[in-house]
């Protein structure tokens, strides 16, 4: 009788491990919360025309942001996987620093950054707890770029014109950037789990500003280079097919 009970328990444990195992062909989808924390720095605002000049001591900083994230992972085998990561585009606020500190908020923009990662999962495929590392790339672009009235006025003053007679628009460069990723995944049962990851993205962009008169004639152009280098944390609930 004891041998029978032991055999049934062993079979149950093996069945449980097999149900937990991740293998080639598995899909895991997740949704959760992104926190993006730029490790930012900037170069001074530079007037590029009509007369090149640098605004000494001027700078900008980028606020942290949070947004909803989605990810889909396909396992090539029990260790290697490919993952696509998406998110509702977060809104970042750009604030003046140095001599632009008095201006306050300079503007805001939404960032789009779909990402693809190759990932390696450690531990046995039957393990509930699996650390992982990943390497990939993202393509970053920006939408809804808006400048505040405070910056509009400061630029008009710099160019010696009335703020009511000019308008300044901005465009941020799009960029490919590498993504370094590491984290842990925990599987509660055959289907449900949770994951937490930290990513670092070496990223820089250039904000190009164009000031025109109310009649549309060019008045001046200027630009500022920004290093964003965000650290991105992602906590997600996951479901395996």
Query: What single DSSP character describes residue 113?
Result: -
- Total structural domains in the chain? 1
CATH of the domain at 60: 2.40.160.20
Q: Which pTM does this prediction carry? A: 0.87
- Tokens matching residue 111: 């960032």
Give the CA angle between residues 233, 144, 228 to the nearest 5°.
40
Residue 207 host element (H or E):
strand 204-213
- Residue written as tokens 């009649």? 215
User: pLDDT digit string (tens) for 115-166?
Assistant: 999 999 999 999 999 999 999 999 999 999 999 999 999 888 888 888 788 8
pLDDT tens by residue, 67-115: 999 999 999 999 999 999 999 999 999 999 999 999 999 999 999 999 9
Residue 64, SS3 per DSSP: coil
Q: Computed from CA positions of residues 7, 24, 80, 197, in that sequence, does the dihedral angle turn out positive or negative?
A: negative
Sign of the torsion angle spanned by Cα atoms 76, 79, 84, 87: positive
Alpha carbons 2 and 25: distance in angstroms, whole number? 39
Average pLDDT over the chain, rounded to whole? 90
Q: Which domain holds residue 23?
A: 2-240
Q: Give, for 163, the enclosing helix (H) or strand (E).
A: none
């Amino acid at each position: 009788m004891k041998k029978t009970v032991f055999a049934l328990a062993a079979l149950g444990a093996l069945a449980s491990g097999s149900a937990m195992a991740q293998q080639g062909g598995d899909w895991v989808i997740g949704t959760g919360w992104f926190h993006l924390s730029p490790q930012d720095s900037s170069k001074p605002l530079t007037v590029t025309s009509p007369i090149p000049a640098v605004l000494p001591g001027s700078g900008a900083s980028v606020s942290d942001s949070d947004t909803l994230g989605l990810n889909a992972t396909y396992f090539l085998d029990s260790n290697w996987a490919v993952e696509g990561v998406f998110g509702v585009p977060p809104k970042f606020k750009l604030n003046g620093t140095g001599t632009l500190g008095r201006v306050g908020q300079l503007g805001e923009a939404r960032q789009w950054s779909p990402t693809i990662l190759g990932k390696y999962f450690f531990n046995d495929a039957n393990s509930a707890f699996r650390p992982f590392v990943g390497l990939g790339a993202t393509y970053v672009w920006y939408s809804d770029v808006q400048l505040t009235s405070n910056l509009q006025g400061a630029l008009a003053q710099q160019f010696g014109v009335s703020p009511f007679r000019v308008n300044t628009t901005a465009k941020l460069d799009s960029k490919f950037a590498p993504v370094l990723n590491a984290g842990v995944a925990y599987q509660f049962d055959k289907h449900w789990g949770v994951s937490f990851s930290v990513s670092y993205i070496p990223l820089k962009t250039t904000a190009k500003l164009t000031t025109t008169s109310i009649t549309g004639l060019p008045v001046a152009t200027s630009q500022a280079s920004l290093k964003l280098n965000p650290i991105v944390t992602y906590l997600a609930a996951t479901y395996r097919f």
